[in-house]
Amino acid sequence: MGQFIFNKAEIEGVFIIEPRVFVDDRGYFMETYNKNDFEKAGICCEFVQDNQSKSKKGVLRGLHFQKTHPQAKLVRVTKGEVFDVAVDLRKDSPTWGRYVGVVLSAEKKNMFFIPKGFAHGFLVLSDEVEFTYKCDEFYHPEDEGGIPWNDPSVAISWPSFESELCLSGKDIGYRLLEENKVYL
């Protein structure tokens, strides 16, 4: 028996993953990645880079992608909670421009697999979050692109929040998807 439940999302190639968690009076143990289990589920990646970020409530990071070096990502939260989003930008995809959104939390211990060809971003829902992700391609700063978090053609249904949004300068300046016609 594998250590994960792989739930297919409504867009092909995207998975919401639940690890088996072994809990006792000492705490818990879980695998966060197992190449054999992932390959059996059809996720065949060689991860080459791990990243971690820390953000406060109201921070919205994204929606980012790499233009010529697209990355598949396996993301999870180790502290706090986020609303995580993947937008399909794959050329010739029947779901181009559509998104999948999921709440990831340290409490649930769930993960999100995003294949190559997607824009990715998240909104911090808790007071603080620590967010980790594995990538199957190295980060190339000169290759980075993005679309606005509130692009009307994507129409992401972000959770409501009381705090003011905190965005980076680059995230504010992205062109709309319909103007950009991004295909990865």
Place of tokens 């971003």: 121
* 153 is a domain residue: yes
Task: Convert the pLDDT of each residue in 92-132 to its tens digit.
Answer: 999 999 999 999 999 999 999 999 999 999 999 999 999 99
pLDDT for 180 beyond 90: no
Res 179: pLDDT: 83
User: What range does the domain containing 173 cover?
Assistant: 49-179
* 71 is a domain residue: yes
Number of domains in the chain: 1
* 103 is a domain residue: yes
Please state the three-class secondary structure of the chain as a single string: CCCEEEEECCCCCCEEEEECEEEECCEEEECCCCHHHHHHCCCCCCCCEEEEEEEECCEEEEEEEECCCCCCEEEEEEECEEEEEEEECCCCCCCCCCEEEEEEECCCCCEEEECCCEEEEEEECCCEEEEEEEECCCCCHHHEEECCCCCCCCCCCCCCCCCCCECCHHHHCCCCHHHHCCCC
Res 178: pLDDT: 86
* 148 is a domain residue: yes
pLDDT for 162 beyond 90: no
CB atoms within 10 A of CB 81: 22
Res 183: pLDDT: 79
Residue 2: pLDDT band with limits 50, 70, 90: confident
| CATH number of the CATH domain containing 98 | 2.60.120.10
* 54 is a domain residue: yes
Taking residues 3-12, report their average pLDDT: 97
Task: Convert the pLDDT of each residue in 19-76 to its tens digit.
Answer: 999 999 999 999 999 999 999 999 999 999 999 999 999 999 999 999 999 999 999 9
Residues involved in catalysis: 64, 133
* 21 is a domain residue: no
pLDDT for 135 beyond 90: yes
For 36, phi then psi, to 5°, come to -60, -45
* 36 is a domain residue: no
Report the C-alpha gap between 143 and 149 in whole angstroms.
19
Residue 138: pLDDT band with limits 50, 70, 90: very high
Is the CB of residue 45 less than 8 Å from the CB of residue 136?
yes
* 31 is a domain residue: no
Res 1: pLDDT: 59
pLDDT for 87 beyond 80: yes
